[in-house]
Amino acid sequence: MRIRATVEIEPRGKRPPQNMRLKDGRMLHGVKDAATRSYETRLAVALLGKLDGLMLLEGPLQLDILAIFKRPKKINKAVKAWCDEKGLPHGPNSRVWCPRKPDIDNIRKSVQDAMKTVWRDDAQVVAGLTLKAYGREGERPSITIALSDEIQELSHQLQTMGLPEPRQPIR
C-alpha cells in the first residue's frame, strides 16, 4: 500500500510542551500550547480528508514528508553560493533548500501527531525522509506526505546509507 497526499498549509514545527499553573496553584506539566493544538487539528483534518476511507494501519511504516515554504523575495546569499558551488539552479522556477526554522524533526513530529488516527502508534514509523524547501515563484506553501508499508529490507537500507550490517550478538 502506498498513499500520497498534498495539503496547502504552511509547514510548522512542533513547539515544546509548556507548564501551566492551575487556579488552585497546582502545576500541569507537558501541556501543548493552543497554537500547536490548533495547527495539528487543521493539518489532521486536511490530511485525513485526502486519505478518506483509509483503515487503521498495522506493522512497520515509512513516512516521507516534503515541506514547501513560501519563497522569500530574495534567496539567502549563502544558499545561492552553495547552489552555485554545487551547480544547482536557484532561479524563480526552481525549488531550493530551506535552511531556516523550523527544524525538520519538529515538522515531522507535527505531521506524525496530526496523523495519529491513521496508525496505532507513531512508533510504527520506522523509516522516512523529511525535506524542506522554498517553493517556486508563486507556489503556495504545502506539506506532501508519502506513506507506505512497502519498506525495503533493513540490510538494504543500511547498505544505501553506507553502513555495515550489525553484528550478531555474542552468546
Does position 170 have pLDDT exceeding 60, yes or no? no
C-alpha 171/C-alpha 147 separation (Å) is 38
- The class that CATH gives domain 26-160 is alpha beta
Neighbours of 129 (CB within 10 A): 12
23 class by beta-carbon count within 10 Å (0-12 exposed, 13-18 middle, 19+ buried): exposed
C-alpha 160/C-alpha 166 separation (Å) is 14
* pLDDT-derived band at 166, boundaries 50, 70, 90: low
Q: In the predicted model, what is the mean pLDDT of residues 151-158?
A: 76
Task: Decide: 142 and 7 in contact? Cβ < 8 Å.
Answer: yes
The pLDDT, as a whole number, for residue 2 is 85
The pLDDT, as a whole number, for residue 143 is 95
Residue type, 154: L
* pLDDT tens readout for residues 103-129: 999 999 999 988 888 888 889 999 999
Cell digits of residue 55: 483503515
* pLDDT tens readout for residues 18-70: 777 778 888 777 667 788 888 888 888 888 888 776 778 888 999 999 999 99
Of 151, 50, 63, 52, the closest CA to residue 110 belongs to 63
What pTM was estimated for this model as a whole? 0.80
